[in-house]
Amino acid sequence: MSPSLMTGTDPGAFRLRRDTRDLPQRVAELAGALPARKLATVLADANRTAVRKGATTAFGSMSPKPADWYCFDSGDDDTPDWYPQGIAGSSEAGRGDPQVFAVTWYWKPDGTTTERGVRVSFLSTATRKYRHVLLVEPVKGADYKVINIHAGGIAWYGDLLYVVDTNRGIRVFDTRHIYEVRGDDDKVGLRGGGYHAFGYRYVMPQVDAWSGSGSARFSFAAVDRTLNPHMLVSGEYVDPADEPGKAGRVARWHLDAGGGLAAGADGLAPAAHAFTLPAAKIQGALSRKGRWYLSQAASSVKNGSLLVVADGQPPQVRRFPIGPEDLTCWNEKNQLWSLTEFRGRRVLFAVPF
């Protein structure tokens, strides 16, 4: 089916309510029990190496090939248990340090096994080194548990990471709250007097949440720094095979100076804008300088598409790699970045805007 126009729609379905609960107190308890580590320390301690412009079959018939790309190491590229979904960058965050990417993965093992939740990989383009950090939900008693969500998208603004939770809203993490643990690879949390994280050295606890109060789903995320004020973007993946006749939507919220969503005294953050998407199976969306960029999936063996939408115009369709997901930008290089999810074809890649 050919793409249609992208049109404005009611943003009411995307109203978010702040749902902080006692998360700050639980994080404070963890901070009193575990050593805090800066993101720079985690990157300096990175234990995996990405290959810049390495060999990959992810691009398929994409032509021309991307301007730049990074391949995960062979273990991460080929694992059947973890699937990369979301991508964000320190350029999107507005950080002045060398470019770092954050990539979310969700646990999808073959067979029945213990749930291991969600992890985020921090990759430095300066060193090509990266490390996985386990995302956790803090619980009472200076403890934590895994987070069982799809983590289809991530946005980075200042110190805060916004990770989408499909049917609930958005979970918030803070790069100033990363803690080091050392323990067995078959346990998580405080067990037997020690802390464990399935063998991961670092955990990042959830610090805040925004809960959806309408019918919206949250499948991907990004930040638009070209608008004033800056805005958080999220929207819905819809597969017509599962929901015939349903159109996905995308929305934007104002961000405040502290990096949070701009909310009223009642804790409600209404979406400022919402639009119907012009095509199905959208895996990522980014607005920038008055245009929309939409990542569209096809299948595990067919090339996806990049839809570029100017105001009131039909989308321009470009050939994208196989299995494209979330979107982010590297503003200083005028590049759009995405990643691919399928086993044996996992890569972070860039195309010019």
DSSP labels, 197-232: ETT-SEEEEEEEEEEE-SS----EEEEE-SSSS-EE
Whether a cis peptide bond, with omega within 30° of 0, leads into 64 is yes
Return d(Cα 263, Cα 224) in angstroms, integer. Answer: 18
Pairing of strands 202-212, 129-139: parallel
Extract the tokens encoding 93.
């965050």
Domains for the chain: give ranges and CATH numbers. 7-352 (2.115.10)
Q: How many CB atoms lie within 10 A of CB 71?
A: 22
Closest C-alpha to 157, from 102, 218, 94 = 94
- Check pLDDT > 80 for residue 97: no
Name the pLDDT band for 328 (thresholds 50, 70, 90): very high
Query: What pLDDT sits at residue 111?
Result: 75
- Integer distance in angstroms from the first to the last C-alpha of the chain? 25
Please answer whether residues 235 and 270 qualify as being in contact, where contact means their C-beta atoms are separated by less than 8 angstroms: no
pLDDT digits (tens, 9 = 90+) for 230-276: 999 999 999 999 999 899 999 999 999 889 999 999 999 999 999 99
**Counting Cβ atoms within 10 Å, is residue 312 exposed (0-12), middle (13-18) or buried (19+)?**
exposed
Query: What pLDDT sits at residue 210?
Result: 98
Return d(Cα 177, Cα 180) in angstroms, integer. Answer: 10
Query: What pLDDT sits at residue 248?
Result: 96
Amino acid at 276: T
Extract the tokens encoding 232.
């958080």
Query: What pLDDT sits at residue 1?
Result: 53
pLDDT digits (tens, 9 = 90+) for 31-73: 999 999 999 999 999 999 999 999 999 999 998 899 999 999 9
Query: What pLDDT sits at residue 69?
Result: 98
Please answer whether residues 116 and 198 qualify as being in contact, where contact means their C-beta atoms are separated by less than 8 angstroms: yes
- Whole-model pTM over 0.85: yes
Extract the tokens encoding 310.
């100017």
Question: In whole numbers, what is the pLDDT of the chain averaged over residues?
Answer: 96
Closest C-alpha to 306, from 80, 99, 288, 123 = 288
Name the pLDDT band for 2 (thresholds 50, 70, 90): low
From the centroid of its chain, how far is CA 268?
23
pLDDT digits (tens, 9 = 90+) for 203-214: 999 999 999 988
